[in-house]
Chains A and B, each alone.
Chain A
């Protein structure tokens, strides 16, 4: 099955700095790579996702890059703010499209702390 590795496990930055979280996956058939933000006691919230036919996607301060050959993808947050502090998870899934979605495999999570 799919195995997703995520690094670093903790990340501490100063407000305004950039933060980068990296993930690798093992299943070459995976084609959907979402990133989630989880606050304490809440369910994960999708912040950005990318499909395997795209190499990069950006949404304001958040961007995701995908390297299919190397099987890794990264989350980039620019101009970080204290409210960005949370746990971030990457995930991978195969068969994502239309009404067909395979199960998600999650990375181990990254605790991001943004200091004012």
Chain B
């Protein structure tokens, strides 16, 4: 139980365009969703925390106007990378806390900006 489905698994986009990443909780209600970014051979760094029905909280140094997070329902949270640039290329992962299974993670999205 407690599965988070993340899509797409990989995406390539041109510089200046926007990309949306979706995370859906399939069998539980995710009131909170954490969004991480992971560069090659590095650890997961928390970008922001979203809560259903309220504004996301961003970590220091993360541009909220560039990484738009929407958590409009208890089963869907989205991250939109706006005006993407090559330096935004990374592995993005969502995670939701659950009552019985700790934190469950999505499978990740590999974003490549060309």
Contact = CB atoms under 8 A, between A and B. Distances in A.
Secondary structure call for the B interface:
strand
Interface string A88-116: 01000100101101011111110000000
Interface residues of B, number: 24
B98 to A, nearest CB: 8
Given A34-B103, A46-B103, A101 B43 contact: no
Nearest to A36: B105
A61 interface: no
B43 A107 contact: yes
B89 interface: no
Secondary structure call for the A interface:
loop
Nearest to B109: A43
A104 B43 contact: no
Interface of B: 6, 31-32, 34, 42-46, 49, 91, 93, 95, 97, 99, 101-108, 110
In the A-B complex, the 6 residue pairs with the smallest Cβ-Cβ separation, listed nearest first, are A101-B97, A43-B105, A43-B108, A106-B43, A43-B107, A106-B44
